[in-house]
């Protein structure tokens, strides 16, 4: 048969042989065509199938030749040869017929396509094929994937295969040992895909049985009234199964009583006396005796019904070896998930600690070193954040605007700090508690002025793209880049301040003025100048912290008050008067808060409450903080 | 009666307060000429409560030297305690009225359940939280108004003074305390209706027959009485030997300790007493305000309390009263929209917006230039008389 030989190396001829089935396929006949096409081994087949599925194949009416068109919207259409890709001339849309396989047929086609795509050169296509298999797994995919697993080189796809293949094996393989091996291969895998594969294996159904059923794969026998199954729910199950009479709810009983009131009496009792449960029971019993109401089961009835039946959770999967293996595998997974959660939590704690540290570090200088209670510290943070916002309205490149905003915020708040020190604070160094009142006044005035300028609604401070994403380790563990950025900023600040205070002339003078201003003055240091610079430095740092904080939280006029108490606590817990103490304090408070949140994840307010209570108790044992120093600040 | 002779301000203060009370009554809608509206009567009554809280603050800070930034927490707690009773009684009355139409009378449990549903459905909870156990009884509520703030102050004060936390650290600790309390109250599942707070507190059970015009005057009287009695009590505490020791603690705690006095006990007494006074003030304040929510306990409220005392003059009882009355009445005036706007040509100063700025700068100026507060003016008068 020469034609047949010819057909095998030419797609067009092959299609022409089955022209009718190609042009007008049904779900049943299309499989036949697909088999022929796959057996042919022609290189053009996958492309044809995908375009067929996408309704991009046309048939020329004049001679029945199958073609692609270059641009479906053009008129006339440019026809392209299926086998060679060469132009075949043009035709108007009336001269060709578009093949429109229906949805069912297209699904069969895409199923057949998968076998080609799975082995395609382009990793993107292979990924698409895996998507298709994940969405509609089929027994026929099993050998395909098995073959692929060894050949796959892309590590990401390898990981996906390692989950999808076991899933198919578990679902479609007949051999128990093979299924168990597949389950075990997923043990400890924390990805959502692996967990989604294993969890359904352990799905149970709660059933009521008079006796323990033979051969059932029992997960657990529940006792009514235990944590998993309440008495009410258990009894309701019996009622639903028709094994026990329904309870009469109080509202129904009341309705029956109300309906049977005759001359102000129900069941022999005047209605006015029916304001107690006992009297109502009595009246209802009287109605039952008269046949006017359904009898209600008593507590003893309920107990007897419950005792007569067993409430059994039965696995949907009948094979106990499979469920055992799945339980074991999931146990391992849960352990790993727990480990990663712990890492996740620790990282959360560290990033929260970094935020507290940034918010408090300026205060560690003004309060810790100088002993000034600056209630306007939060407002310096707020001013920094608004500086960032203003810069962003002027400079549209986010990276550049952040780069400008950070030094600018420092300059603005440094100036504000110096102004405040010169005009107010310096008169109050002998009355530290009163700096609190004066700076509080400044704080509410500043808040209101900002409210006047910028309005009350939140202003956006958008992080640049490279800070907006997150580093994903796996489905459990992911860290947002902004938090990494803030952590790094915290580290830089710490090193910088530690360096300034311990390794520079300025730092030496600051410490000298802190410990004994008079002696420092007699040694030729100008305490006025040092106080001014120190206060400016603390305020400027608050401004930079404001830019960082504004990047992930809302920029609003009263944002500072949210950080002020926390900042003071951080400084006090850490130990007043040194930067290292603030670091320790922030780490402790931040990680503690996250740990408490972990115990009660739905409630961050409770975590904050308990954290503060802990701090209050902690002060009992270390009133001077974790790292206590001597000096002016520690002396009062 | 020694109090009246030793502390000259007591007879003057009581006299002025009596005159003021009579004046307000004569001008009220319910019992007089109707020159003072019901809402303004309430404002005046509430101001007296704030004065009482400031008086307590003055005792603890101005006389004992403990700058507590958490005393408004006790004020709020007192309000919550009375609020639970008021809200329960009020809601129960409404529920009973609703159930009256039924053929069969409701059981006690049904009324209680329906009341709980009405109160707590807003936070998605059912049934009574344990904290509301006393809310059905006026007697227990009155007892708790004293006991709860007192116990809180006692425990906190004991913890703080025992470990000798002083000065700035104590201030920050008290601030943390009030923040913790306010955050706790903000939660929906603590049984105090989260940030909804308690509402409808102006409806006094059993007083439905009387209008708000009368009730407002009664509460004004009660507030005046509480302030007057507390003033006398405070004057008694600060005069005599006890007062000397307390002031000694303020001026030099170590020296008083070396003299053999148990400083911690004195501090704890003053702290607890003032906590109770604040609780009573709150319990009188919120039925006049009509609503309480956790925002009231926020740290900023307690700082305001300190600022009032500072403006009025620390260490003199009338100073606290003057400061609280002045600032809170001025705030009401300026933020109530009654103050005329100032037109500067290019720019119009609207006081609703600019009052906080003025207030803030006022704090700064008073702190810098009048460390003795407005009460310091009285010293000037005294000096002139003597010379």
Which residues of B are less than 8 Å from A444 in CB distance? 356-357, 359-360, 363
Which residues of A are less than 8 Å from B155 in CB distance? none
Query: DSSP for B10-42?
Result: HHHHHHHHHHHHHHHHHHBTTTS---B-HHHHH
Query: Percent of chain B beyond pLDDT 70?
Result: 97
Preferred mutation among B191, B357, B359, B366 to probe A, highest tally of A CBs within 10 A: B357
Q: For residue A184, what pLDDT is reported?
A: 83
Q: For residue A420, what pLDDT is reported?
A: 94
Joined tokens for residue B298: 């926020």
Which residues of A are less than 8 Å from B164 in CB distance? 623
Cβ separation B180–A612 shorter than 8 A? yes
Joined tokens for residue A118: 């799975």
Does an H or E element contain B63, and which?
none
Nearest to A561 among B104, B300, B363 (CB): B300
Chain A, nearest residue to B252 by Cα: A636
φ, ψ of residue B17 to 5 degrees: the values are -65, -40
Which residues of B are less than 8 Å from A433 in CB distance? 67, 167-168, 171
Bridge partners (DSSP) listed for residue A269: A266
Per-residue pLDDT tens for A511-547? 888 778 888 889 888 888 888 998 999 999 999 999 9
Cβ separation B367–A636 shorter than 8 A? no
CA B45, B49, B52, B58 torsion-angle sign: negative
Joined tokens for residue A508: 């030496």
Q: For residue A5, what pLDDT is reported?
A: 42
Which residues of B are less than 8 Å from A608 in CB distance? 180, 183
Q: How confident is the model at residue A253 (pLDDT cuts 50, 70, 90)?
A: confident
From the CA of A181, how many Å to the nearest CA of chain B? 47
Cβ separation A433–B167 shorter than 8 A? yes
From the CA of B323, how many Å to the nearest CA of chain A? 14
Cβ separation B303–A440 shorter than 8 A? yes
Establish if B244 touches chain A: CB-CB under 8 angstroms.
no
Total number of residues shown for chain B: 387
Q: How confident is the model at residue B385 (pLDDT cuts 50, 70, 90)?
A: low
Region A167-176: what's the mean pLDDT?
79
Separation between Cα atoms, residue A33 and residue B76, nearest integer Å:
81
Query: In whole angstroms, how far apart are CA A599 and each of A594, A596, A604?
Result: 9, 5, 10
Which residues of A are less than 8 Å from B165 in CB distance? 619, 623
Per-residue pLDDT tens for A358-384? 889 888 888 877 778 889 999 999 999
Which residues of B are less than 8 Å from A605 in CB distance? 183-184, 186-187
Task: Check: CB of residue B162 under 8 Å from CB of residue A620.
Answer: yes
Cβ separation B303–A433 shorter than 8 A? no
Chain B, nearest residue to A426 by Cα: B368
Chain A, nearest residue to B253 by Cα: A636
Q: For residue B3, what pLDDT is reported?
A: 62
CA B284 to chain centre: 8
Query: Is the backbone of residue B246 left (phi > 0), alpha (psi -120 to 50) or beta?
Result: alpha
Task: Check: CB of residue A214 under 8 Å from CB of residue A202.
Answer: no
Residue A114 has pLDDT above 90, yes or no: no
Residue B232 has pLDDT above 60, yes or no: yes
Joined tokens for residue A356: 């507290």
Provide the 3-class DSSP secondary structure of residue A139.
coil
Separation between Cα atoms, residue B344 and residue B359, nearest integer Å:
20
Separation between Cα atoms, residue A635 and residue A515, nearest integer Å:
10
Nearest to B187 among A434, A564, A606 (CB): A606
Establish if B184 touches chain A: CB-CB under 8 angstroms.
yes
Q: What residues have CB less than 8 Å from B97, skipping those under 6 apart?
A: none
When mean pLDDT is compared over A87-101, A503-517, A605-619, B271-285, the highest value belongs to: B271-285
Nearest to B362 among A431, A441, A620 (CB): A441
Establish if B123 touches chain A: CB-CB under 8 angstroms.
no
Question: Helix (H) and strand (E) counts for chain A?
Answer: 28, 12
Q: For residue B387, what pLDDT is reported?
A: 59
Task: Check: CB of residue B67 under 8 Å from CB of residue B281.
Answer: no
Cβ separation B187–A603 shorter than 8 A? yes
Chain A, nearest residue to B299 by Cα: A565
Nearest to A256 by CA among A245, A246, A248: A248
Nearest to A427 among B180, B299, B368 (CB): B368
How many A/B residue pairs have CB atoms within 8 Å?
A: 158
Q: What residues have CB less than 8 Å from A217, skipping those under 6 apart?
A: A314, A315, A317, A318, A319, A320, A323
Mean pLDDT, chain A, as a whole number? Answer: 83
Does an H or E element contain A620, and which?
helix A604-621
CA B121 to chain centre: 29
Residue A3 has pLDDT above 50, yes or no: no
Nearest to A583 by CA among A354, A348, A345, A381: A354
Q: Which of residues 73-112 of B touch A (CB under 8 A)?
A: 102-109
SS (H, E, C) A150-211: HHCCCHHHHHHHHHHHHHHHHHHCCCHHHHHHHHHHCCCCCCHHHHHHHHHHHCEEEEEECC
Residue B1 has pLDDT above 60, yes or no: no
Half-sphere exposure of A117 (CA within 13 A, CB side): 21
Q: How confident is the model at residue B367 (pLDDT cuts 50, 70, 90)?
A: confident
Nearest to A238 by CA among A206, A286, A191: A206
Task: Check: CB of residue A322 under 8 Å from CB of residue A240.
Answer: no
Q: For residue A105, what pLDDT is reported?
A: 81
Cβ separation B168–A258 shorter than 8 A? no
Nearest to A437 among B162, B164, B363 (CB): B363
Q: How confident is the model at residue A1 (pLDDT cuts 50, 70, 90)?
A: very low
Mean pLDDT, chain B, as a whole number? Answer: 88
Residue B6 has pLDDT above 70, yes or no: no
Q: How confident is the model at residue A22 (pLDDT cuts 50, 70, 90)?
A: confident
Separation between Cα atoms, residue A487 and residue A346, nearest integer Å:
13
Q: How confident is the model at residue A632 (pLDDT cuts 50, 70, 90)?
A: very low
Task: Check: CB of residue B89 under 8 Å from CB of residue B202.
Answer: no
Which residues of A are less than 8 Å from B111 in CB distance? none
Establish if B299 touches chain A: CB-CB under 8 angstroms.
yes
Separation between Cα atoms, residue B253 and residue B248, nearest integer Å:
7
Tokens 């400044």 map to which residue?
A: A442
Burial of A85 (0-12, 13-18, 19+ CB in 10 A): exposed
Specify the long-range contacts of residues A8-11, CB closer than 8 Å, at least 24 apart.
A8/A40, A8/A42, A9/A42, A10/A83, A11/A40, A11/A42, A11/A44, A11/A45, A11/A48, A11/A82, A11/A83
Joined tokens for residue B242: 């006890």
Which residues of A are less than 8 Å from B302 in CB distance? none
Per-residue pLDDT tens for B181-208? 999 999 888 888 888 899 888 888 877 7
Other C-beta atoms closer than 10 Å to the C-beta of A221 total 12
Cβ separation B104–A440 shorter than 8 A? no
Preferred mutation among A370, A424, A444 to probe B, highest tally of B CBs within 10 A: A444
Burial of B329 (0-12, 13-18, 19+ CB in 10 A): middle
- Model pTM greater than 0.90? no
Can you state the percent helix, strand and coil of chain A, rounding each to 5? 65, 10, 25
Residue B162 has pLDDT above 50, yes or no: yes
Separation between Cα atoms, residue A256 and residue A287, nearest integer Å:
9
Nearest to A444 by CA among A498, A393, A378, A496: A378
Residue A496 has pLDDT above 70, yes or no: yes
Preferred mutation among B169, B186, B306 to probe A, highest tally of A CBs within 10 A: B169
Cβ separation B102–A258 shorter than 8 A? yes
Separation between Cα atoms, residue B302 and residue A51, nearest integer Å:
74
Separation between Cα atoms, residue B166 and residue A436, nearest integer Å:
15
Which residues of A are less than 8 Å from B172 in CB distance? 565, 568-569, 572
């Amino acid at each position: 048969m020469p034609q047949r030989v010819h057909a095998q190396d030419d797609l067009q001829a092959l299609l022409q042989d089955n022209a009718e089935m190609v042009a007008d396929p049904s779900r049943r006949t299309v499989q036949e065509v697909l088999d022929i096409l796959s057996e042919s081994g022609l290189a053009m087949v996958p492309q044809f199938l995908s375009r067929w599925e996408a309704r991009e194949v046309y048939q020329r009416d004049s001679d029945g030749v199958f073609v692609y068109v270059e641009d479906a919207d053009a008129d006339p259409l440019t026809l392209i040869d299926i086998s060679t890709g060469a132009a075949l001339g043009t035709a108007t849309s009336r001269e060709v017929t578009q093949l429109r396989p229906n949805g069912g047929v297209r699904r069969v086609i895409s199923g057949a396509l998968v076998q080609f795509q799975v082995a395609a050169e382009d990793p993107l296509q292979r990924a698409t094929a895996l998507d298709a298999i994940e969405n509609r797994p089929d027994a026929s995919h099993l050998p395909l994937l098995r073959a692929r697993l060894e050949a796959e080189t892309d590590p990401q796809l390898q990981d996906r295969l390692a989950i999808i293949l076991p899933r198919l094996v578990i679902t479609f393989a007949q051999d128990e040992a093979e299924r168990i091996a597949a389950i075990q291969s997923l043990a400890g895998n924390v990805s959502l895909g692996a967990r989604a594969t294993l969890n359904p294996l352990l799905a149970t159904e709660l059933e009521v049985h008079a006796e323990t059923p033979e051969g059932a794969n029992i997960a657990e026998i529940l006792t009514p009234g235990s944590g998993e199954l309440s008495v009410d729910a258990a009894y309701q199950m019996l009622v639903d199964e028709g094994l026990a009479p329904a309870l009469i709810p109080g509202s129904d009983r009341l309705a029956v009583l109300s309906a049977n009131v005759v001359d102000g009496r129900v069941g022999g009792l005047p209605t006015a006396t029916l304001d107690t449960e006992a009297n109502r029971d009595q009246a209802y019993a009287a109605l039952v005796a008269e046949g006017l109401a359904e009898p209600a089961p008593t507590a003893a009835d309920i107990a007897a019904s419950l005792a007569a039946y067993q409430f059994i959770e039965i696995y949907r999967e009948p094979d106990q070896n499979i469920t055992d293996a799945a339980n074991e595998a999931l146990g391992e997974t849960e352990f790993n998930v727990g480990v990663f959660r712990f890492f996740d939590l620790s990282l959360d704690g560290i990033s929260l600690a970094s935020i507290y540290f940034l918010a408090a570090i300026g205060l560690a200088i003004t309060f810790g070193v100088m002993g000034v209670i600056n209630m306007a510290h939060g407002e310096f943070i707020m001013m920094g954040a608004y500086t960032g916002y203003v810069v962003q309205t002027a400079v549209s490149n986010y990276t550049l605007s952040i780069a400008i905003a950070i030094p600018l915020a420092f300059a603005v708040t440094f100036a504000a700090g110096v102004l405040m020190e010169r005009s107010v604070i310096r008169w109050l160094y002998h009355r530290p508690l009163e700096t609190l009142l004066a700076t509080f006044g400044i704080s509410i005035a500043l808040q209101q002025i900002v409210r006047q300028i910028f309005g009350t609604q939140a202003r956006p401070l958008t992080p640049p793209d490279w800070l907006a994403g997150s580093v994903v380790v796996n489905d459990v563990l992911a860290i947002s880049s902004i938090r990494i950025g803030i952590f790094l900023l915290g580290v830089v600040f710490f090193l910088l301040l530690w360096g300034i205070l311990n390794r520079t002339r300025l730092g030496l003078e600051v410490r000298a003025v802190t410990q004994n201003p008079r002696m420092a003055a007699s040694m030729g240091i100008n305490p006025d100048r040092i106080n001014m610079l120190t206060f400016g430095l603390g305020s400027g740092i608050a401004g930079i912290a404001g830019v960082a904080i504004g990047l992930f939280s809302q920029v609003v006029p009263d944002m500072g008050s949210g950080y002020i108490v926390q900042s003071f606590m951080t400084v006090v817990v850490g130990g007043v008067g040194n930067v290292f103490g603030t670091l320790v304090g922030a780490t402790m408070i931040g990680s503690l808060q996250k740990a408490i949140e972990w115990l009660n994840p739905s409630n961050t307010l409770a975590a904050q409450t308990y954290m503060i209570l802990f701090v209050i108790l902690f002060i009992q044992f270390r009133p001077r903080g974790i790292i206590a120093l001597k000096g002016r600040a520690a002396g009062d | 009666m020694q109090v009246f002779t030793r502390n000259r301000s007591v007879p003057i203060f009581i006299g002025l307060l009596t005159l003021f009370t009579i004046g307000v009554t004569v001008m009220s809608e319910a019992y007089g000429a109707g020159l003072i509206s019901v809402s303004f009567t309430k404002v005046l009554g509430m101001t007296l409560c704030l004065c009482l809280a400031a008086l307590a603050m003055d005792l603890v800070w101005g006389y004992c030297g403990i700058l507590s930034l958490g005393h408004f927490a006790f004020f709020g707690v007192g309000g919550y305690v009375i609020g639970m009773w008021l809200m329960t009684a009020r809601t129960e009355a409404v529920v009973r009225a609703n159930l009256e139409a039924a053929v069969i009378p409701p059981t006690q449990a049904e009324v209680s359940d329906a009341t709980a549903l009405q109160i707590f459905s807003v936070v998605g909870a059912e049934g009574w939280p344990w904290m509301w156990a006393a809310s059905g009884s006026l007697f227990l509520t009155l007892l708790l108004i004293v006991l709860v703030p007192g116990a809180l102050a006692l425990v906190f004060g004991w913890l703080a003074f025992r470990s000798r936390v002083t000065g700035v650290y104590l201030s920050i600790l008290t601030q943390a305390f009030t923040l913790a309390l306010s955050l706790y109250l903000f939660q929906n599942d603590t049984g105090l209706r989260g940030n909804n707070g308690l509402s409808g507190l102006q409806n006094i059970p059993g007083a439905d027959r009387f209008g708000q015009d009368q009730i407002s005057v009664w509460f004004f009287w009660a507030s005046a009485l509480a302030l007057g009695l507390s003033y006398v009590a405070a004057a008694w505490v600060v005069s005599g030997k006890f007062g000397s020791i307390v002031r000694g603690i303020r001026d030099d705690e170590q020296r008083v300790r070396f003299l053999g006095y148990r400083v911690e006990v004195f501090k704890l007494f003053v702290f607890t007493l003032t906590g109770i006074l604040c609780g009573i003030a709150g319990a009188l304040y919120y039925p006049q305000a009509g609503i309480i929510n956790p925002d009231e306990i926020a740290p900023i409220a307690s700082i305001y309390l300190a600022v009032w005392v500072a403006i009025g003059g620390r260490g003199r009882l009338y100073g606290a009263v003057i400061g609280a009355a002045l600032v809170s009445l001025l705030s009401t005036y300026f933020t109530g929209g009654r103050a005329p706007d100032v037109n500067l040509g290019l720019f119009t100063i609207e006081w609703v917006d600019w009052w906080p700025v003025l207030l803030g700068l006022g704090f700064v100026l008073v702190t810098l230039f009048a460390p003795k507060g407005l009460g310091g003016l009285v010293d000037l008068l005294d000096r002139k008389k003597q010379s």
